[in-house]
């Protein structure tokens, strides 16, 4: 048996119709189509151009952050700290692992949170804050553990009974907590 590996050369869109039939296309003609798979090479080129073309303005997202903070009962300073650490306020950011948007949602997490477009700042922040609320509830309000789970995953924090012994996660937690203190002070 031979398997062929192909690389995606265009964004792929998907929608499921009323009869349960799933449709895919690289040229959506209907607004029911939602992004399913991104052309990462094209996306990286676009992000690079966008980063060079515009400066980041965190104030631009203040209303979205305030609204999500109030809706889910998560401090605005924590939300800002996570956005700062995850994407540097770049709504078009994509990580090497495929996380995207301001709060760097993984595709599976975005789907489970009903985020149809991770590059839409409102959808992304609302989904990310909803997930933070879940993590804070899971860890009984322990911000360090919730932030560690946001980075490393819920299962890893549960397995280690605390912040996992990964340098990346420990650095991330310290960075987010530091940013959070700075946002609280301002």
Average pLDDT over residues 119-132: 97
> pTM (2 decimals)?
0.71
Specify the pLDDT at position 35: 66
Instruction: Encode burial over 115-152: b for 16+ CB neighbours within 10 A, e otherwise.
Output: beebbbbbbbbbbbbbbbbebbeebeebbebbbbbbbb
How much of the chain exceeds pLDDT 70, in percent?
80
Task: Pull the structure tokens for residue 111.
Answer: 């789907």
- 145-165 pLDDT, tens digit each: 999 999 999 999 999 999 999
**pLDDT confidence of residue 51:** 42
Q: Is 49 domain-assigned?
A: no
Q: Is the pLDDT of residue 139 over 70?
A: yes
Q: What is the C-alpha separation between 150 and 103, in angstroms, rounded? A: 10
Q: Judge whether 30 lies within some domain.
A: no
pLDDT at 38: 62
pLDDT at 48: 41
Q: What is the CATH number of the domain that holds 140?
A: 1.10.530.10
Tens of pLDDT, residue by residue over 48-102, are 433 433 457 788 999 999 999 999 999 999 999 999 999 999 999 998 889 999 9
Residue 112 placed within a domain? yes
CA distance 96 to 100: 10
Q: Tell me how far apart the alpha carbons of residues 154 and 5 are, in angstroms, rounded to a whole number.
A: 31
Q: Does residue 44 lie within any of the structural domains? A: no
The total number of structural domains that make up the chain: 1
Residue numbers of the domain that contains 61? 57-185
Whether residue 50 lies inside any domain: the answer is: no
Residue 142 located in a structural domain: yes
Instruction: Determine, yes or no, domain membership for 168.
Output: yes
Residue 60 gets which letter from DSSP? G
- 48 lies in some domain: no
Q: What is the mean pLDDT of the chain?
A: 84
Q: What CA–CA distance (Å, rounded) separates 38 from 13?
A: 9
Averaged pLDDT for residues 121-143: 97
Q: 28 pLDDT exceeds 90?
A: no
86 belongs to the catalytic site: yes
Give φ, ψ of 16 to 5 degrees: -110, 125
Q: State how far the alpha carbon of 153 is from the alpha carbons of 105, 132, 145, 148, 166, in Å.
A: 12, 12, 10, 7, 12
Are 167 and 175 contacting, i.e. CB atoms less than 8 angstroms apart?
A: no
* Catalytic residue (one of 19, 62, 86, 126): 86
């Amino acid at each position: 048996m031979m398997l062929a590996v192909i690389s995606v050369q265009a964004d792929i869109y998907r929608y499921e119709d009323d009869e349960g039939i799933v449709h895919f296309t690289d040229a959506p003609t209907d607004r029911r189509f939602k992004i399913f798979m991104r052309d990462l090479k094209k996306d990286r080129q676009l992000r690079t151009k966008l980063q060079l073309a515009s400066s980041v303005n965190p104030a631009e997202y203040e209303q979205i952050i305030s609204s999500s903070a109030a809706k889910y009962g998560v401090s605005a300073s924590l939300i800002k700290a996570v956005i700062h650490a995850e994407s540097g306020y770049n709504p078009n950011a994509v990580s090497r692992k495929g996380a995207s948007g301001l709060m760097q949602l993984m595709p599976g997490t975005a789907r489970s949170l009903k985020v149809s477009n991770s590059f839409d700042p409102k959808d992304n922040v609302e989904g990310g804050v909803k997930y933070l609320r879940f993590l804070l509830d899971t860890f009984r309000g322990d911000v360090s553990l919730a932030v560690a789970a946001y980075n490393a995953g819920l299962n890893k924090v549960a397995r280690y009974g605390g912040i996992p012994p990964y340098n990346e996660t420990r650095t991330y937690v310290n960075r987010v907590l530091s940013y959070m203190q700075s946002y609280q002070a301002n």
